[in-house]
Chain A
Amino acid sequence: GAGVSQSPSNKVTEKGKDVELRCDPISGHTALYWYRQSLGQGLEFLIYFQGNSAPDKSGLPSDRFSAERTGGSVSTLTIQRTQQEDSAVYLCASSSAGPYEQYFGPGTRLTVT
Chain B
Amino acid sequence: AQSVTQLDSHVSVSEGTPVLLRCNYSSSYSPSLFWYVQHPNKGLQLLLKYTSAATLVKGINGFEAEFKKSETSFHLTKPSAHMSDAAEYFCVVSDRPGNTPLVFGKGTRLSVIA
Contacts and interface: CB of A to CB of B under 8 A. Distances in A.
Given A50-B99, A107-B43, A99 B104 contact: no
Interface of B: 32, 34, 36, 42-46, 49, 51, 90, 94-95, 98-107
B104 A44 contact: yes
B44 A100 contact: no
Given A42-B106, A100-B32, A106 B43 contact: yes
Contact of A43 (B45, B49, B51, B104): B104
B107 A99 contact: no
| Interface secondary structure of A, over-half rule | strand
Contact of A59 (B34, B94, B101): B101
Nearest to A34: B101
B103 A45 contact: yes
Given A43-B90, A45-B95, A100 B51 contact: yes
